[in-house]
Amino acid sequence: MTKTSEISFNDRDIISIKDLTRDEIEYILDIALKMKKYHDDPTDLLKGKILATLFYEPSTRTRLSFTSAMLKLGGEVMGFSDPKASSAAKGENLSDSILCIESYCDIIVIRHKLEGSARLAAEVSKNPIINAGSGTQEHPTQALLDLLTIRNEFKSLDGLKIGMVGDLKYGRTVKSLSYALSLYDVELSFISPSMLSMRKEVLKDLDDAGIKYEEFSDLSSVLPSLDVIYATRIQKERFPDPADYEKVRGSYKINKEFLNNAKDSMILMHPLPRVDEIAFDVDKLPCSRYFIQPLNGVLIRMALLGLVLGKI
């Protein structure tokens, strides 16, 4: 039973998916669905509120998604997307930047390459902070939008078999999603080249949570049993030897023919940007969900902005 009467997000920071209970996650997803009406017909709910988007790492997608969410709720947005144009270039530490910028706004969204950066921001600031990606571990709003996409499809997350494919070592989306799914009764398959396999500490946490998972190097053998494939981009720059990269890359290229062996009900997700791990002939197939995920991202971020600012 979801005890929503006890759930409050007013003035809370959203730093890690691990800070949220299953009930809280379900509550956020429920609110996100209700945001669809404001997405289609914007409101003045957050009129007079200012969001600062501090992107110390480049990101079009996540930055514009938060911006869209805030604008559709009637709020205003300011910030930067290029750390070279910020005070960090003059040697300022993150804590000082946050203590200064918090005077200018009501809520802060931050992306930073260092682990723990968003947590630090939350500790020093009186404003609520939402983590838009920190280090290689945390990307809670991406995990939430991924959950929403899956739940929209299968009504419940329980009982599903979900495969994550590609760069499981460096990608933060797969880690945040794994932690989120560890609150559900799911079975996980991690498919990657051995040098990009899921980190041991994440696997240990899944063990502790009693989550069933298996690791594979080949996608085709596990494909027929999966309800969800979550593909990710393999980053060329991680490979010391370009020949290794080419070999690995080819083995996870998903195309229309390859998907013939998948379940009819299977859905294919990707956090984007893709390079060539999913062929263009897949885009129009009924299983493709990666161009629906961005809309769900706006809905999740609308829900969080409204909740944390105490207006929902």
Contact residues: a second copy, CB under 8 A: 41-42, 47-48, 50, 52, 55, 58-61, 64-65, 67-68, 71-72, 76-82, 84-87, 89-92, 96-97, 99-101, 103-105, 233, 272-275, 291, 294-295, 297-298
Nearer of residues 170 and 216 to a second copy, judged by Cβ = 170
Query: Judged by CB, which is closer to a second copy: 206, or 299?
Result: 299
Q: Kindly state the DSSP code that residue 262 receives in the 8-state scheme.
A: S
> 140-154 and 293-308 are packed helices; what angle lies between their axes, rounded to 10 degrees?
120
The verdict on whether omega for the bond into residue 273 sits within 30 degrees of 0, i.e. cis, is yes
Which amino acid is it at 187? E
What is the maximum alpha-carbon separation in the chain? Answer: 56
Q: N- to C-terminal Cα distance for the chain?
A: 21
CB of 289 to a second copy, least distance (A): 12
Closest distance to a second copy from the beta carbon of 243 (Å): 19
For residue 272, give both structure tokens. Answer: 């984007």
Q: Which amino acid is at 85?
A: A
- Tell me if 248 sits within 8 A of 234, measured CB to CB: yes
Nearer to a second copy, 140 or 271 (CB): 271
Instruction: State which residue, 100 or 195, has the beta carbon closest to a second copy.
Output: 100
Our CB check for a second copy shows the closer of 77 and 226 to be 77
Q: Report the amino acid identity of residue 284.
A: K
Which residue's CB is nearer to a second copy, number 27 or number 230? 230
CA distance 161 to 228: 7
CB of 272 to a second copy, least distance (A): 6
**Which residue in 3, 24, 289, 307 sits closest to 144, CA to CA?**
24
Shortest Cβ 71–a second copy spacing (Å):
5
Nearer to a second copy, 6 or 40 (CB): 40
Using alpha carbons only, give the angle 298, 172, 126 rounded to the nearest 5 degrees.
65
Q: Are 269 and 146 in contact (CB under 8 A)?
A: yes
Q: How far is CA 136 from the centre of its chain?
A: 12
Closest distance to a second copy from the beta carbon of 199 (Å): 22
CB of 294 to a second copy, least distance (A): 4
Smallest distance from the beta carbon of 133 to a second copy, in angstroms?
13
Lay out the sheet containing 187-191: strands in order across.
212-216, 187-191, 161-165, 228-231, 267-269
* Closer CB to a second copy, 125 or 134, in the complex: 125
CA distance 210 to 65: 34
In whole angstroms, the minimum distance from the beta carbon of 257 to a second copy comes to 21
